[in-house]
């Protein structure tokens, strides 16, 4: 039996909507479907503005542009994240300050954040790893006390919640991804939720997204010609991809239910290994409602993790490790970071294994994964 790590879930209306989009004769950005998706996201997440972008990476870049960072300004980011969170900071020529993660949730360690705040700290970028929320009350408190922006990297956390509020709508900006590997997909895509008070920040986000022009205002008839007013880039997706995404989001409850069942099935069948001290399973804190983006196990050692991964591969199952800590990467080294500085991040990077997880994963295949893990670990 072959079990891939990920498989995009197709709901059935993708081609129909893409065809409809083509028939409208307007396939560039901000057409009918882009508007429909933005409105759906705003309404269902209670956000006052969500703009679709070409990727989660670009949503992060847009957020960082809005902060007007200057050389020497500092941004605190977990080292245990995807490169895009960190790249967005370096692209603004700001100083990247890596924080460690919490052993239980694998999210940014707020005590470590506190110890790294200086007069130059301008922003914190919490990542809601695996779709599980950071403790946002604690984090927002620290940020507000120190006059610091919060940009949520909610790339993995679309429709996850913190105390009933949708992730990505709690901080000043929230960034989402619709990459093929995420819960709701369109190949490559993303969105930014603008939560800062005031119309100015929404207008500026629209401008940055439209190459630094006020074209969005022009389309709404608020100005009679559009012109270059700020820096920006082309961050808006083709309406064809928005049409694809609309078909996904329409079926968000179905996708959520399937992922939840798969997550719970893994949990129930592997909890025995945790009770016997063989593996550790994910923890969802009380304040967090997960979107079940990922199911991972934490092994005892890197050796055990690599062995388990290799043996699963021989049995046709693709389980994968995740982030190599950014602070120990070549770029991290160039920035002056080194092994030994963020112990939890390093341990998790070496011992975490992600199991196959996608909405169409069958019971049979899942049972095969669980049985194979037990057989390999001889338990």
Ligand X SMILES: *Cc1c(COP(=O)(O)O)cnc(C)c1O
φ, ψ at 258 (rounded to 5°): -65, -45
Stretch that binds ligand X, among 55-63, 220-228, 350-358, 360-368 (CB under 6 A): 55-63
Stretch that binds ligand X, among 52-60, 140-148, 264-272, 313-321 (CB under 6 A): 52-60
| CA gap 84, 47 in Å, rounded | 23
| CA gap 304, 348 in Å, rounded | 13
Q: Does 57 bind ligand X (CB under 6 A)?
A: yes
Across the beta sheet with 161-162, what order do the strands follow? 165-166, 161-162, 288-289
CB 122 within 8 A of CB 67: yes
Q: Does 81 bind ligand X (CB under 6 A)?
A: yes
Query: Least distance in Å: CB of 283 to ligand X?
Result: 18
Q: Which is nearer to ligand X, 292 or 368 (CB)?
A: 292
Interaction pattern, residues 134-173, with ligand X; x per rule: CB under 6 A: -------------------x-xx-----------------
| CA gap 33, 238 in Å, rounded | 9
| CA gap 154, 156 in Å, rounded | 5
Q: Please, which residues bridge with residue 108 across strands?
A: 101
Q: Does 238 bind ligand X (CB under 6 A)?
A: no
**Helices 302-314 and 343-351 sit at what angle, rounded to 10 degrees?**
20
| CA gap 64, 84 in Å, rounded | 12
Residues that contact ligand X, how many (by CB under 6 A)? 14
Interaction pattern, residues 183-222, with ligand X; x per rule: CB under 6 A: -------x--------------------------------
Sequence-ordered list of residues with C-beta below 8 angstroms from that of 224, at least 6 positions apart, any chain: 218
Stretch that binds ligand X, among 25-33, 82-90, 210-218, 358-366 (CB under 6 A): 82-90
Query: Least distance in Å: CB of 134 to ligand X?
Result: 12
Query: Least distance in Å: CB of 81 to ligand X?
Result: 5
Residues that bind ligand X (CB under 6 A): 55-57, 81-82, 84-85, 127, 153, 155-156, 177, 179, 190
């Amino acid at each position: 039996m072959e079990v891939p790590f990920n498989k995009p879930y197709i709901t059935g209306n993708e081609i129909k909507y893409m065809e409809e989009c083509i028939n409208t004769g307007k396939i560039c950005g901000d057409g009918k479907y882009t508007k429909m998706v933005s409105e759906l996201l705003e309404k269902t997440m209670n956000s006052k503005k969500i703009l679709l972008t070409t990727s989660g990476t670009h949503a992060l870049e847009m957020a960082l542009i809005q902060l007007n960072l200057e050389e020497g300004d500092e941004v605190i980011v977990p080292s245990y994240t995807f490169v895009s969170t960190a790249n967005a900071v370096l692209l603004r020529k700001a100083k990247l300050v890596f924080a460690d993660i919490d052993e239980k949730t694998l999210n940014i360690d707020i005590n470590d954040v506190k110890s790294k705040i200086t007069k130059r700290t301008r922003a914190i970028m919490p990542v809601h790893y695996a779709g599980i929320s950071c403790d946002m009350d604690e984090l927002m408190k620290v940020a507000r006390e120190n006059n610091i922006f919060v940009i949520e990297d909610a790339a993995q956390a679309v429709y996850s919640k913190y105390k009933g509020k949708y992730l990505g709508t709690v901080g000043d900006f929230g960034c989402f991804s619709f990459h093929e590997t995420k819960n709701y997909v369109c190949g490559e895509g993303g969105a930014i939720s603008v939560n800062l008070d005031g119309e100015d920040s929404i207008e500026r986000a629209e401008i940055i997204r439209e190459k630094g022009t006020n074209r969005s205002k022009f389309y709404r008839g608020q100005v009679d010609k559009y012109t270059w007013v700020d820096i920006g880039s082309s961050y808006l997706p083709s309406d064809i991809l928005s049409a694809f995404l609309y078909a996904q989001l329409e079926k968000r409850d179905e996708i959520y239910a399937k992922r939840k069942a798969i997550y719970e099935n893994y949990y129930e069948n592997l909890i025995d290994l945790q009770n016997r001290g063989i593996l550790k399973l994910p923890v969802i804190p009380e304040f967090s409602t997960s979107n079940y983006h990922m199911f991972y196990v934490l092994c005892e050692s890197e050796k055990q993790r690599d062995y388990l991964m290799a043996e699963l591969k021989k049995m046709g199952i693709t389980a994968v490790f995740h982030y190599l800590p950014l602070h120990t990467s070549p770029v991290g080294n160039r920035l002056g970071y080194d092994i030994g500085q963020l112990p939890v991040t390093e341990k998790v990077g070496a011992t975490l294994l992600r199991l196959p997880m996608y909405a169409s994963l069958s019971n049979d295949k899942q049972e095969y994964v669980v049985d194979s893990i037990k057989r390999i670990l001889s338990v």
